[in-house]
Amino acid sequence: MTKRPSIFLRTVSTPLILILVLACFLALAALVNSGPFNQVVIDAFVKVTLVVGLYVFIGNSGVISFGHIGFTCLGAYATAWLTIPPMMKKMALPGLPDLILETKLPFGIAIVLGGIFAAIFALIVGKILMRLSGIAASIATFAMLAVINTVYSNWERVTGATSSVVGIPIVRVVWPYFLAAAGAILIAHLYAISRSGLALRAARDEAIAASASGVDIGRERLIAFIISAFITGLAGALSAHSVGVVTPDTFYLNLTFICLSMLVVGGMNSLSGAVMGVVVLSVIIQVLRQFEKGVDFGGTVLAIPNGLQEITIGIVMVVILIARPSGLTRNTEIVWRRWPFKRVSATAGS
């Protein structure tokens, strides 16, 4: 009887703590009530959703994917197709099917359909890609990203090619993005503690033993690939509604580098690491952006050169990889057994 509360808390405390951390930022945005600050919080929530989606596949399978940002592109354009006013679509994107040209859906429905669209694409390509392992799988996912970017950058009648697609309804309120990030955390946690998640982590740690025990590694990877594609597609749709504009290059190498950096810095094998990596690097990025614009110190404006942001992120990654190769959280989950908080291995109980 004495162990039941501990088991329960270990099961639910990780997503609860992470959602409470995000709720603090939601409350801070409401307190500050500033448009620019709200946009910063919205961007952070979108990044949390995206990096958590990366964790679902990378963290549980151990396969580094360079292609998941392609799913954000799919989700962003899908919600654009479904929410832009029909008259604008007929002028800017005449190659779309008539049903989509005449359709205008609410924000909430469109972002979910954007995630589903990305998941369906992942199901199709994943049947081939998930047969690969190691560096071959990573290169294949990068090839997928390159194909998506090339198609969307040249399919002018459907995607506008390299031109910006405008007219997407902009959602400035913060709470929908908070709900999406919280939902992504819950989905990732439920998957991690599921039979499929446990089997995939077993294959990640001991592939031969897991296969001998009856684990279909390709199938389990495909399940994680589809779930992570849904979450990252959802993040792409949210990103589109946060700024009202999409272009293919927005969802390419720069975003891939930043999001993988966040996952590595936090700890790629833990959900806590995915969230904490976003929080830490988002703070660093915002500070550097302010210094790029110039900060007034007693009449003296201190500014740093443009581009130093990417250099700093690279340096942070190198330092983390040297000092703590398993990330800030050491690939552990933050749990609440009793006060104070304690950390246990991410694989504990797996």
User: What rounded mean pLDDT belongs to the chain?
Assistant: 89
Q: Locate tokens 């919205």: which residue?
A: 42
> Pairing between strand 300-302 and 295-297?
antiparallel
What is the residue type of 303? A
Which is more confidently placed, 81 or 345?
A: 81
- Burial code (b: 16+ CB inside 10 Å, e: under 16) for 118-133 equals bbebbeebbeebbebb
Q: Helix 271-293 crosses helix 35-61 at what angle (to 10 degrees)? A: 140
> Residue 262's pLDDT band (boundaries 50, 70, 90)?
very high
- List pLDDT tens digits, range 272-323: 999 999 999 998 888 888 877 777 676 777 777 777 777 887 887 788 888 8
Two structure tokens written together for 158? 């459907």
pLDDT band at 225 (very low <50, low <70, confident <90, very high): very high
What tokens does 262 get?
A: 């966040």
Interatomic CA distance for residues 184 and 89, integer angstroms = 30
Average confidence (pLDDT) over 105-117: 96
**Where do we find the tokens 């703070």?**
283
Q: What is the pLDDT of residues 183-204, one digit of tens each?
A: 999 999 999 999 999 999 999 9
Confidence check: pLDDT of 9 > 70: no
Low-confidence winner among 27-41, 62-76, 291-305 (lowest mean pLDDT): 291-305
- pLDDT at position 6 is 52
Cα of 331 vs its chain's centroid, Å: 18
Q: For 131, which DSSP code?
A: T
Tell me: the pLDDT tens digits for 130-179? 989 889 999 999 999 999 999 999 999 999 998 999 999 999 999 999 99
Q: What percent of the chain has pLDDT over 90?
A: 70
How many CB atoms are closer than 10 A to CB 24?
9
Instruction: Name the residue type at position 288.
Output: L
Would you kindly state where each structural domain of the chain is located, as residue ranges? 7-248
Mean pLDDT value across residues 118-139: 94
Instruction: With beta carbons less than 8 A apart as the criterion, state whether 334 and 17 touch.
Output: yes
18-43 mean pLDDT: 92
Per-residue confidence (pLDDT) for residue 77, from 0 to 100? 97
Rg of the chain over CA atoms, in angstroms?
A: 21
AA letter at 12: V
Whether residue 342 is predicted with pLDDT greater than 60 in this model: the reply is no
Residue from 228, 238, 225, 222 nearest 113 by CA: 238
